[in-house]
């Protein structure tokens, strides 16, 4: 009888464990598909972008830049460069990212006034991106391998998942909840919570458009729920599959931007 009870108990534990693994796999499948749609549409892409930064007293400043991006592999290594054009205090600043799979992304910032290429350390990836409410990691995307996921609710329009960092000492949040739109399989809202369970930071997608057949976020907002203030990000002149050469994603392009690939046209 005792052996029978232990066998039944083991079977029950195994069943519960397999259910948990299946749920995690399902949640991860959803997140990974959303990551592909949000960051890997087409083989490469170019876009003009504008950030409007509003502080907690209502004062505004603006940043304009052009993004070039090329995928070495869907869901894998990716090159990205961001070339700032306005205002004068950030003109010719360049942000470069090499997105990795099983390691921290490599990030550099070129500061033209100092003629200095500054490496962004892994510890700084969750700090302000050129004075905005977006973090460096928000721009290139957080690696889904860094978090565990749980599907906490679902309706006919969206999934709601909870992401918990595998290495909580490396981030400032305790967990986050992300809403993924089923129609486009894009993250449309992410809310970050601190150790007290209080929401302190929120990203919202304000507009999605279809560009060359790819659902594309063209307007988003990041808000500071604790201190106030927000940054809106708007995208224009988006093009995919333009044939960007590997050679432009290099340290040389930090000081000598590839002008022919930065020309924006409808």
Is residue 33 in a domain?
yes
- The pLDDT, as a whole number, for residue 205 is 98
Torsion of CA 260, 45, 221, 265, to 10 degrees: 50
Q: In which band, very low, low, confident or very high, does the pLDDT at 8 lie, cut at 50, 70 and 90?
A: very low
Range of the domain at 63: 2-261
Q: What is the per-residue pLDDT across 15-62, written as a single tens digit (0 to 9) for each?
A: 444 444 455 559 999 999 999 999 999 999 999 999 999 999 999 999
E-only strand ranges, 72-173? 78-86, 94-99, 106-111, 116-120, 147-154, 158-165
pLDDT above 90 coverage of the chain, percent: 80
Residue 139 has, within 13 A of its CA and on its CB side, a CA count of 32
Q: What is the per-residue pLDDT across 134-162, written as a single tens digit (0 to 9) for each?
A: 999 999 888 888 999 999 999 999 999 99
Is residue 26 in a domain?
yes
Mean pLDDT, the chain, whole residue set = 90
pTM for the full predicted model: 0.87
- 3-state class of 256 per DSSP? coil
Long-range contacts of 96-103, Cβ-Cβ distance < 8 Å, separation of 24 or more: 96/249, 96/251, 96/253, 96/254, 97/139, 97/140, 98/249, 99/39, 99/140, 99/141, 99/143, 100/143, 101/75, 101/76, 101/77, 101/143, 101/145, 102/145
- The pLDDT, as a whole number, for residue 100 is 87
Q: How many domains does the chain have?
A: 1
- The residue assigned the tokens 């869901």 is 75
- The pLDDT, as a whole number, for residue 122 is 81
Q: What is the per-residue pLDDT across 61-112, written as a single tens digit (0 to 9) for each?
A: 999 999 999 999 888 899 999 999 999 999 999 999 999 877 788 999 999 9
Provide φ and ψ at 218, rounded to 5°: -115, -5
Is residue 266 in a domain?
no
Q: In which band, very low, low, confident or very high, does the pLDDT at 191 lie, cut at 50, 70 and 90?
A: very high
Which CATH number belongs to the domain containing residue 239 in this structure? Answer: 2.50.20.10
């Amino acid at each position: 009888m005792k052996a029978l009870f232990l066998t039944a108990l083991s079977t029950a534990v195994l069943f519960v464990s397999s259910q948990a693994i299946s749920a995690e796999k399902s949640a991860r499948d959803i997140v990974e598909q959303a990551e592909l749609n949000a960051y890997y549409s087409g083989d490469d892409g170019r876009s003009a972008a504008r950030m409007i930064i509003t502080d907690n007293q209502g004062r505004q400043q603006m940043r304009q830049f052009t993004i070039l991006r090329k995928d070495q592999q869907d869901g894998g290594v990716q090159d990205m460069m961001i070339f700032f054009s306005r205002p004068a205090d950030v003109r010719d600043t360049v942000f470069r990212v090499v997105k990795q799979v099983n390691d921290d992304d490599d990030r550099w910032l070129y500061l033209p006034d100092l003629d200095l290429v500054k490496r962004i350390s892994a510890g700084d990836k969750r700090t302000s991106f050129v004075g905005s409410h977006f973090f460096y990691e928000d721009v290139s995307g957080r690696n889904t391998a860094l978090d565990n996921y749980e599907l906490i609710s679902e309706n006919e329009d969206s999934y709601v998942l909870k992401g918990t960092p595998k290495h909580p000492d490396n981030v400032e949040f305790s967990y986050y909840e992300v809403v993924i739109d089923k129609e486009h399989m894009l993250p449309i809202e992410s809310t970050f919570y601190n150790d007290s369970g209080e929401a302190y930071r929120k990203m919202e997608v304000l507009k999605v458009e279809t560009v060359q057949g790819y659902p594309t976020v063209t307007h988003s907002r990041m808000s500071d729920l604790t201190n106030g203030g927000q940054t809106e990000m708007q995208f224009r002149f988006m093009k995919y599959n333009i044939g960007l050469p590997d050679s432009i994603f290099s340290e040389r392009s930090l000081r000598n931007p590839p002008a022919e690939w930065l020309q924006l046209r409808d």
